[in-house]
Amino acid sequence: MRAIDVHVHPSTRGLDKHACGYFRRNLDEVPQTAETFAELYVEQDVKALLIGWHPSTVMEGSRNTNDHVIDLATRFPDAFAGTLASLDINDKDITKVARYAQDLVRNPKVVGFKFHPPDQGFYPSDKKFYATWEVLQTGGKPVMFHVGFTVLGANTDGGSGIALDYGRPIHLDTLARDFPRMKIIAAHPGWPWEQELIGVVTHKKNVHVDTSGYLAEQLPEIFLKAIGGRLQDKALFGTDFPYVDLEKALVSFDKVGFKQAVKDKILFANAQALFGL
């Protein structure tokens, strides 16, 4: 196995036009069917973790769901190692959300959870969500939170109503303190708060970080230095596919001069340990 990609959006469902424009992604190069999507990962000898969350900015096409990514992982186990399930964290019935979370924890195809605080409009450290966080901490499966800038709503009036402050890495510091047994993953290097993110990941043993949204040579210099050094055991390879090309992301890791042992940790060993793959 060449790598485990911990941050993959299924290209079989509606894609965000803001993200495609930001990354200058040619959609003709993106697999549209389940079969071609799975084939891409098999050909690259990479296992993907599929995210069930659906961006609020995507109004057209079929909606991504937990059921969809669980079905893909079931049908194509050679390509997809599992799923990161999503929850409607702002549902008024908090008890229902916690109960659904418990059901997902029991599903073997669900290896973790994914939240997007800026798009979902919430602070991870808000105590009204603590009952749900307790369920996830008890379940023992990693929980991923988007941090930093988001391409959703980028360069639109009012950012399409999406506020970046929800994605400040410091909010995960409070969460990690209050839930020390929760395995937390910060998705992306946290720009423009990359120093803040490095501080949180360095200080809190239960916080990890992925490289998604960037080719390796594009990562902020301070972040690249950190994951190649002190944080090498806490960094995970992620692409943000289909917005970032999988093959280019893999090739980019050969350009940044990591020692082979470090590269192996980031590309697959850390994810194997964290997710129990």
pLDDT tens-place string over residues 70-128: 999 999 999 999 999 999 999 989 889 999 999 999 999 999 999 999 999 999 999 99
- How much is the pLDDT for 23? 75
How far, in Å, CA of 255 to CA of 62, rounded? 37
- How much is the pLDDT for 124? 97
The residue ranking higher by pLDDT, 18 or 57, is: 57
pLDDT band of residue 165 (cuts 50, 70, 90) is very high
Give the pair of three-digit tokens for residue 253: 């890791």
Q: Determine which of 104-108, 147-151, 155-159 has the lowest per-residue pLDDT on average.
A: 155-159
Q: Exposure pattern of 30-49 as b/e (b: 16+ CB <10 Å)?
A: bbeebeebbebbeebebbbb
Give the global pTM: 0.96
Give the pair of three-digit tokens for residue 135: 């369920």
Whether 229 has a pLDDT exceeding 90, the answer reads: yes
At 201 the three-state DSSP class reads helix
Tell me which H or E stretch contains 70.
Answer: helix 66-75
Q: Determine which of 57-61, 71-75, 265-269 has the lowest per-residue pLDDT on average.
A: 57-61
Give the pair of three-digit tokens for residue 124: 């991870």
pLDDT band of residue 21 (cuts 50, 70, 90) is confident
**Contacts (Cβ under 8 Å, ≥6 apart) of 110:** 66, 70, 82, 83, 84, 85, 104, 141
Nearest to 221 by CA among 195, 241, 251, 182: 195
Are 52 and 64 contacting, i.e. CB atoms less than 8 angstroms apart? Answer: yes
pLDDT band of residue 223 (cuts 50, 70, 90) is very high
- How much is the pLDDT for 16? 73
- How much is the pLDDT for 58? 87
Q: Determine which of 51-65, 112-126, 204-218 has the lowest per-residue pLDDT on average.
A: 51-65
Are 60 and 94 contacting, i.e. CB atoms less than 8 angstroms apart? Answer: no
Whether 22 has a pLDDT exceeding 80, the answer reads: no
Q: What is the mean pLDDT of residues 193-211?
A: 98
Four-residue CA torsion sign, 237, 183, 13, 150: negative
- How much is the pLDDT for 30? 86
Greatest alpha-carbon pair distance for the chain in Å reads: 50
Four-residue CA torsion sign, 255, 260, 261, 267: positive
Are 224 and 253 contacting, i.e. CB atoms less than 8 angstroms apart? Answer: no
Q: How far is CA 145 from the centre of its chain?
A: 7
Torsion of CA 38, 40, 43, 49, to 10 degrees: -60
What mean pLDDT, rounded, does the chain reach? 95
Give the pair of three-digit tokens for residue 100: 């659904």
Q: What is the mean pLDDT of residues 43-64?
A: 92
The residue ranking higher by pLDDT, 89 or 59, is: 89
Whether 27 has a pLDDT exceeding 90, the answer reads: no
- How much is the pLDDT for 29? 79
pLDDT band of residue 60 (cuts 50, 70, 90) is confident
Are 125 and 145 contacting, i.e. CB atoms less than 8 angstroms apart? Answer: no
- How much is the pLDDT for 253? 92
- How much is the pLDDT for 205? 98
Over pLDDT 90: what percentage of the chain?
Answer: 86
Whether 145 has a pLDDT exceeding 80, the answer reads: yes
